[in-house]
Amino acid sequence: MGLTCEVGLRRRTYHVLSGSVLAVWAKVESVLSSVHGHHNSSKLQVVRLKTEDSLRIVGTIIPSNCVAPLINVLSQDAEKTHSETF
């Protein structure tokens, strides 16, 4: 399962993991290293962004091929989950 090519697109989709992630960081690293196409030597990119309604978010970019496995792993121990599209 590879990454989709976004060369030449005017809009791109970024998946950003934000919030209190230190408690689950080992799980995040485990998922990122286990998914094909992401190697242990790869560096995670931390980003600061501002949404259209001026909400400021700091987080790390999650490759699109890691989103579903990461949601599955993190949802196993979660009492409630939240996902938001900006």
Query: How do residues 57-83 score in pLDDT, each as one tens digit?
Result: 999 999 989 999 999 999 887 777 777
Q: What is the pLDDT of residues 3-30, one digit of tens each?
A: 677 777 777 788 999 998 898 999 999 9
Six token digits for residue 78:
């979660």
The answer to whether position 84 is within a domain reads: no
- Locate 43 and state its tokens: 């560096």
**Domain annotation covers residue 30:** yes
Is this structure's pTM higher than 0.75?
no
Q: Average pLDDT, stretch 44-57?
A: 91
> Is 3 part of any domain?
no
| Contact (Cβ atoms closer than 8 angstroms) between residue 63 and residue 37 | yes
Number of structural domains in the chain: 1
| Domain enclosing residue 67, as ranges | 15-75
The pLDDT assigned to 2 comes to 62
Distance CA 42, CA 40 (A): 5
